[in-house]
Amino acid sequence: AQKVTQAQTEISVVEKEDVTLDCVYETRDTTYYLFWYKQPPSGELVFLIRRNSFDEQNEISGRYSWNFQKSTSSFNFTITASQVVDSAVYFCALSEAGAGSYQLTFGKGTKLSVIP
C-alpha cells in the first residue's frame, strides 16, 4: 500500500530564512508520481509541482526547489528566503500509475508559519 509521511507537523521560521519540508513515501510500484500542494488559510489547494518516478532531476522554480531521491524515497521541498505569504499548510502526495485511476494519497501536511 502506498503511504506518504510528513514528519514535521509544524515549522516556524523568521522571514528570509530558508526552510525545507520533508516528505518520505512508500510504494511498491516502479512508476509513480509525486506532488506538492499548498493550502493557504483560505482553504483552497494550490498545485506546486508534479514529478514522475523516472525523473530524478531536481527542480527550481523561483524561490522554490525540490529534491527527489529515489534511493531514500524522499521528495523534499525547500523555500529560499521565505516570505510571510508562504505561510500555509503544505502537502506532499503520491499516486501510483496503475489501474487508470489518478487518485492521490496525501501526507498529513506541514504547517509553515513565517514570522515577519
Partner 1 sequence: DSGVTQTPKHLITATGQRVTLRCSPRSGDLSVYWYQQSLDQGLQFLIQYYNGEERAKGNILERFSAQQFPDLHSELNLSSLELGDSALYFCASSAGHDWYGYTFGSGTRLTVV
| Distances 109 to 8, 72, 99, 103 between C-alpha atoms, Å | 8, 19, 26, 17
In the complex, minimum distance from the CB of residue 78 to partner 1, in angstroms, rounded to a whole number? 22
Scan for cell 485511476, then name that residue. 101
From first CA to last CA, the distance across the chain in angstroms is: 41
Quick one: 83 or 103, whose CB is closer to partner 1? 103
Quick one: 82 or 90, whose CB is closer to partner 1? 90
Residues that bind partner 1 (CB under 8 A): 33, 43-45, 47, 50, 91, 95, 99-109
Residue 102 CB-density burial (10 A; 0-12 exposed, 13-18 middle, 19+ buried):
exposed
In the complex, minimum distance from the CB of residue 22 to partner 1, in angstroms, rounded to a whole number? 16
Quick one: 9 or 71, whose CB is closer to partner 1? 9
d(CA 97, CA 52): 9
Quick one: 49 or 80, whose CB is closer to partner 1? 49
In the complex, minimum distance from the CB of residue 103 to partner 1, in angstroms, rounded to a whole number? 4
In the complex, minimum distance from the CB of residue 16 to partner 1, in angstroms, rounded to a whole number? 30
d(CA 37, CA 21): 12
